[in-house]
Amino acid sequence: MQEDTIKSGIVAIVGPPNAGKSTLMNGLLGQKISIVTPKPQTTRNRIIGILNDPSYQIVMLDTPGLHKADKPLNLEMVKIAVSSLSEVDAILFLVDVSRSVPEKQKKTVEYLKGIACPAILVLNKIDLLKKDQILPLIEMYRDIYPFAAIIPISALMNNGTDILLQELLRLLPEGPRLYPEDIPTDATERFIVAEIIREKIFLLTGQEIPYSTAVVIESFKEDEERSLVTIHATIVVEKSSQKAIIIGKKGSKLQQIGKNSRYDIEKLMAQRVMLKLWVKVHKNWTSDMRFIRDLGL
């Protein structure tokens, strides 16, 4: 296939929170670009993953979950996801079949109304269902929206994703590569490092704490001679009580967040990392639009 006739397009991965969107993108790429936790609404911003092959290039947009939002931060997250729908060549609409039923997804599917490009319904986590439950589920979703295809998969087990990829390529146009062949994402290292730290906070703290935290990279210095990266980062919370929880008894929680983050950052950077973390209170930052904009949302 000639370079100028490869399959090339932009695909938005959308759906309700915690459906497995980030897991799917990471699995297709064969490496971790988006952070993943068991908690809903982990993804806050649109993250680009670029799947390269001699015969195609798929630019995937991992988006925040579509949900009923009230706080300014959550409204921005939903706005990011919805805005992605109007600038893509195809949509992967992902649902977790183990947790949601078609009837309850009607409102979420309404986000697709008026969208010109084709949408594939991806039924994720089918490994958690009995085989005789899958066909009736497909029929119920067919009645909700005219999907171009309905593909059952398990993103975690990498089951069915090859069929999904074939179906997706069928829908994409021919065209030039939109990005160089050797990059898996357009995200900066600073952005990915901030996301890694935020992931560890999600995994190591409970209740509302993860949703009240943001991570700001204050400095990022590479010393090539010593093969060392020195990173200073601030974890922003909304209340003093949250700051105490993040720090933990005698700093134990913050040390664990730092240790786990540094391990992943060193894998990302392929060199030693010195990570310094601080915790700062910014009262009600999730309602502060100026701060939310400064975070890049």
Distance CA 50, CA 21 (A): 15
Residues (pLDDT < 70) of the chain are 1-4, 100-101
Tokens of 142: 């067919």
Distance CA 201, CA 254 (A): 9
Query: Which pLDDT belongs to residue 191?
Result: 94
Query: Which pLDDT belongs to residue 263?
Result: 96
Query: Which pLDDT belongs to residue 151?
Result: 96
List of domains in the chain: 3-171 (3.40.50.300), 189-294 (3.30.300.20)
Tokens of 35: 């952070």
Query: Which pLDDT belongs to residue 65?
Result: 81
Query: Which pLDDT belongs to residue 27?
Result: 94
